[in-house]
Chains A and B, each alone.
Chain A
């Protein structure tokens, strides 16, 4: 007799899935854009509220999934980010001529996949979650298939991601060959050369999703080509969920903490920080730039993986929150300026020239996001970076410290370049002035920007909350 299912802990996931099926049936009955969006938003909101209410001290478990502090935190982040994307997608898709409702379907499926992924403690659920997360993303990235860029982004991501998945599966197979187990606790039972090789290959597959150098090459093309809400989802929940599961692997499976692997990870971290920032230097396309920036940010985050202590989990949590909020803000501004998606998206920096004089609030929000990504004090990004540095200094990993500092110094250049463009006098083109969308959209982005500042000025509640999560 199997143990009773922790139905309540599965609730948010079930709600998201139910919303997906509802949207599906809704489309089958009649296409109604706003209703689909509403169902999505209500479903995600309900799941978010349920997840918030769930915070129980003792963790629930099934053979495949575990609901502890880490997955609670990650689930909240996933649901919150998906909610933001869903809200902004509605405006974005208004001008789209093809079928719009499927976007929400895909979004919900991706969110469900991310929820599984962050809670998985078994290689099967890991793979299942990862694919459920990635598959809808292919569709979403290629959603504007009339535009060759979007199609290209979707296809590139599909093919390279399949290659990544192949590595991941191969790695899993090797691990299985060594240990004869697929659950994380079982994997911990034995170490050996095959397990190490398997771990390395799994790292390739997961590192691909996180765009760790040298598996990062797809990032800018896909970021640039995909429709902004899809890119936003890719940059937020996809990366977050994969990182969380990798963190769980590092914490629970000893082969992931193997000395050689740890050294390799440290090398990759340094490489990723430096290369990501260098690539962004003279980038003139904001979406590409954000892609490179996300490479660099996950380089910083790898530091937490390399060290892998209790404090590292907290650090990763803090960093992920700050990264997510800033990234969502930045992409939110891009979405609002690209909405509704009738013409080309506003991704070239030229579009942002003198934005302050046309849409001061949006320019302010983007400035805040850039400051945060650059890690300037009194924004959320500083807190995250400070934690990373404190962690690395505490562990006396001086090479990592040096790389974080060098990377941040390089990064400052291109973040500031974006800001400068915002405040330049001559407006690029009066026709691009862009009428303001619904006030709600602007409000979302502004609230996010405010959150960036609040987290930077008063991080104590968030940090205490993270420290209090039982893991």
Chain B
């Protein structure tokens, strides 16, 4: 009991020190720069500043949602390919069960891909021209 208590205390003491150090460092940086740094005011100081060049226009531009959609789909299929890589490396160990599991996995992926293309998720055009959705009016 005594033993664990002391060891726990030792560990926690280390954490405490670490936390203190973090706060201390942050405080030190802010306070030191505030104390040491010069201060000046002016109209120019209030302007947005970026690499010495004045900003032109709003930074927020509208992207087509398709952009995100395609990016997301890419990431999803990409990650799934990573799984297949892991399977391929361990092919001898996982055996036939692994093979059929991977096949099922790929088939489900294919179904997903088919769904994506049929609902128009992969079309770049602004108007949805999906064969599925255009059948409904």
A residues near B, CB below 8 A? Answer: 2, 5, 21, 24-25, 27-31, 99, 193
Contacts and interface: CB of A to CB of B under 8 A. Distances in A.
A418 B8 CA distance: 54
Contacts of A99: 133
Interface stretch (B23-31, B56-64, B113-121): B113-121
Given A5-B97, A31-B133, A31-B135, A193 B115 contact: no
Interface residues of B, number: 16
A27 B115 contact: yes
A193 B112 CA distance: 44
Contact of A30 (B108, B112, B114, B135): B135
Contacts of B97: 2, 5
Nearest to B132: A31
22 contacts: A5-B97, A21-B111, A24-B111, A24-B112, A24-B115, A25-B111, A25-B115, A27-B115, A27-B118, A27-B119, A27-B132, A28-B111, A28-B114, A28-B118, A29-B118, A29-B132, A30-B132, A30-B135, A31-B132, A31-B133, A193-B8, A193-B11
Given A27-B115, A27-B119, A28-B119, A21 B133 contact: no
Contacts, number: 33
Interface in B86-129: 97, 108, 111-112, 114-115, 117-119
Interface in B28-53: none
Contacts of A21: 108, 111
Given A24-B112, A27-B119, 11 more contacts: A2-B97, A5-B97, A21-B108, A21-B111, A27-B115, A28-B115, A28-B117, A28-B118, A28-B119, A28-B132, A29-B118
Contacts of A24: 111-112, 115
A54 to B, nearest CB: 21
A411 B66 CA distance: 48
Nearest to B108: A21
A48 to B, nearest CB: 23
Contacts of A30: 132, 135
Contacts of B12: 193
A154 to B, nearest CB: 16
Nearest to A17: B108
B33 to A, nearest CB: 32
Contacts of A2: 97
Interface of B: 8, 11-12, 97, 108, 111-112, 114-115, 117-119, 132-133, 135-136
Contacts of A31: 132-133, 135-136
Nearest to B4: A192
Contacts of B108: 21
Most buried by A among B108, B112, B115: B115
Contacts of B133: 31, 99
A193 B13 CA distance: 13
A268 B115 CA distance: 45
A28 B111 CA distance: 9
Contacts of A193: 8, 11-12
B27 to A, nearest CB: 25
Most buried by B among A28, A30, A99: A28
A447 B111 CA distance: 37
Nearest to B95: A1
Given A193-B11, A193-B12, A25 B114 contact: yes
A30 B135 CA distance: 8
Smallest CB-CB A-B distances: 10 pairs: A28-B118, A28-B115, A28-B114, A24-B115, A21-B111, A25-B111, A24-B111, A31-B132, A21-B108, A31-B136
A2 B90 CA distance: 14
A31 B128 CA distance: 15
B67 to A, nearest CB: 19
A242 to B, nearest CB: 25
A146 B118 CA distance: 23
Contacts of A5: 97
A277 to B, nearest CB: 38
